Amino acid sequence: MNIKPPLIEVPTEKPFDNDKFERDKEAELLTSIISTYSQPLVLSIDAAWGNGKTTFLQMWRQKLENEKFPCLFFNAWEHDFADNALVSFIGEIDAGIDAFPLGPEETKEAKQLFRNVKTIGTKLLKRAAPIAIKLITAGVLDPEKVYEDAIGTVGSELVKDSFKEYEENRNTVSDFKKKLRDFVLKLQEFQGETPKPLVFFIDEMDRCRPPYAIQLLEKIKHFFDIEGIIFVLAIDKTQIENSIKFVYGTDESSAYLHRFIDLTYRLKKPSKEQYASILFNRLELSSLWEKRGFSSIYNETLKLFQTFSNCFSLSLREQERVAAHLNVIIRTLPKGNTYQPELLVILIVLRTKHYSLYTSIAQGTLPNRILEMLRKTSEGTEFLESTRGLCLEFVINFEGSPVSKAIRKYKEIQETINSSELEDIFTPELRKQQHLSLFIKSEIESYPRETDKLNLLFRIFQLVELAKNFDAE
């Protein structure tokens, strides 16, 4: 059995075979766009962190490769250590030529052409020193003030050198783009009557250091703005805009981002209920629950997982973390021991999504905000009206109270139930109250004295904390 969900396999022949979200239709749509686009294109696939961008890109890339598109895949986060994104791009193309749909002689010729691109790229990198740094290191500009006499004697020569360097840089950039264009044209020539663009996938940009993420965008625009090259960027647009604010301190981050991205596609959000079922199946949790003696509450646990995923807006990756944590805890429980699924699941969700609220339980703070958050959604409101919801509300409202207070609550409920039985009126609502009274009774009986304080929530909290070192990130 798995502790965390295994990576989704992308079959070569049928890349979307394991796609559970019908994203093959989205891939078809995007393929039709890039197939008919003749100009340079930067296409962003926008989705929040943890919503399946990487898996979609891998599936779509395989689909395109099956259709003889030359493709490259660049994990930006893995190259975040590099000082210059241009080096990373050139290296990635150079390493990827062997995988292009070309014959041996064509591959050899393509590599020869790309050597010309690398040669010009090397010159370009050597000319990358900023003028301002040169002026400061020469002693002409001082961070505190500018010495006018220094500028008069040394500055004029440096200005001349700077203009000359600018002209040389401009020519080098032009040469680089020309050689790169020659390389792309040759790739298309090899493809015959139906030439396809070179598709460069870039993933994990939103995990990079802000300066590196911005540098990637700038290098794409200034050096790879070539007809026949299409960049596909998997991004969380909000996160990239925050990176722009961090680097440039501008409030116009959205407008700045639009300078680099020509077209944005918002990936369809998958159903959290659907993904929860998929997760539980991939982790084989049904078998685990059966072996641990919890089969009777497996379906309830899954339903609660789905409900809380919606109530607290968990991303797919957050759902995976919660499922992995739940998986570990169930393995550590004594076989056959029961547990309150509503308490266990909601505490793991809070630990993943709202850590400060989760830790308030350890500090003895009554977390009434949990109920407020649940009531903000229709799923949460419906849950609180259910039997499990009534039990959760009781635990939250009575946590830290003396057992005597719970006894009074139990007696109140019992009086209502008894009077209804006498009148032969037993509604679904009263059945819920009956279940709640049984729950309260079992909890009361676990304390030897009425002056003891109720701590069921804290006990479940400790259970969750015992498994915290097993988090599957």
Beta-sheet strand order (sheet of 229-235): 71-75, 198-203, 229-235, 41-46, 263-266
b (16+ CB within 10 A) / e for 47-86: bbbbbbbbbbbbbbbbbbbeeebbbbbbbbeebbeeeebb
Cβ(440)–Cβ(409) under 8 Å? yes
Tokens describing residue 289:
């629950």
Residues 6+ apart with CB under 8 A from 225: 40, 177
Backbone angles phi and psi of 461, in degrees to 5: -55, -45
The phi, psi pair for 313, rounded to 5°, reads: 50, 50
CA dist list (Å): 317 to 4, 77, 126, 208, 239: 11, 17, 42, 18, 16
What is the phi/psi pair of residue 51, to 5°? -110, 25
Provide the β-strand partners of residue 36: none
- The pair of structure tokens assigned to 140 is 């002409």
The rounded distance, in Å, linking the Cα atoms of 140 and 147 is 7
pLDDT confidence of residue 151? 43
Chunked mean pLDDT (size 10), the chain, 473 residues: 74 92 93 90 89 92 95 91 81 90 92 90 66 34 40 50 64 89 92 90 90 89 91 92 85 86 91 88 87 88 94 90 90 77 93 90 75 92 93 91 93 86 70 90 91 89 78 52
| C-alpha span between 238 and 416 (Å, rounded) | 53
- pLDDT for residue 248: 83
Distance CA 105, CA 111 (A): 10
